[in-house]
Homo-oligomer: A and B are copies of this chain.
Amino acid sequence: MQMVRSLRNKKERNEHGLFVAEGLKAVKELLASRVKTRSVYAVRKFDDIKAPLNLVSESEFAKMSSMKTPQGILAVAEKPSHKLSVGELKNELTLALAGIRDPGNMGSIVRAADWFGIKNVVCSSDTCDIYNPKAIAAAMGSAFRVKVHYTDPLAFLSEAKNNGITVYASATDGVSIYEAKLSAQGIIIIGNESKGVPEELKSLAAVKISIPSFGEAESLNAALACAAICCEFRRRKMSRETA
């Protein structure tokens, strides 16, 4: 029990190489994925879950749960370690996250990556841990499919550039995504919620892109901007393919 509870903490997750997926949907998605499940804890049997259950009392479960209204089921799983090979990204669209801090934003960006067929999300070390319980919840199963890497973004993006991969950076001073030349492959850098993409990374970008504003807001939420950008990249790809 105590150990499950401790996995709310990033340090403990890293030390044990484990994380928690909570709720019926998350556990189902976890069991259907390639991620290795260690154990499932539940307060009762669930028709949809065929895996062996460790039945615990409601009060024991409450001690493990991170949810306000627990659904009575959670799983402990092994944090997958994905190999990051820059060469393999040449023909794909990839996201690079530079300092996304909010777990809700983090999870919904990974969910958007899954939606738009982006297989790899490469994060700076100060980006929110995808195995944070709130990020896992917001990712709605996509955290078990999309490969989320944590590495030095400067080294990664430099290597990508040397491999001929086009780097795009989301930036308020960029060209309109409606007009920018957008390729079907490349790496899109999304910056921190308040500071944006750091200058040292922005300078590696071949194209700086922005979403045109029609009103008075200073900026868009980073996750929302990311979704709008991915949607436009995919539109271009499709319009070229059908042209």
Interface string of A83-117 (1 = CB under 8 A from B): 00000000000000000000010001001111111
* Identical copies of this chain, number: 2
Where the two chains meet, the residues of A that have a C-beta atom closer than 8 Å to any C-beta of B are 104, 108, 111-118, 138, 140-142, 145, 177-178, 211-221, 223-228, 230-232, 234-235, 238-239
Indicate which residue in B111, B116, B145, B217 contacts A115 across the interface (CB closer than 8 Å): B217
Q: Which residues of B contact A228 (CB under 8 A)?
A: 227-228, 230-231
Residue of B nearest to A213 (CB): B115
- The reply to whether B142 and A217 form a contact with Cβ atoms under 8 Å apart is yes
- The reply to whether A140 and B224 form a contact with Cβ atoms under 8 Å apart is no
- The reply to whether A116 and B215 form a contact with Cβ atoms under 8 Å apart is yes
| 30 A-B pairs with C-beta separation under 8 A | A104-B104, A108-B223, A111-B217, A111-B220, A111-B221, A112-B217, A112-B224, A113-B215, A114-B216, A115-B213, A115-B214, A115-B219, A115-B220, A116-B213, A116-B214, A138-B221, A140-B217, A142-B217, A145-B216, A145-B217, A178-B238, A178-B239, A211-B231, A212-B238, A221-B223, A221-B227, A227-B227, A228-B228, A228-B230, A231-B231
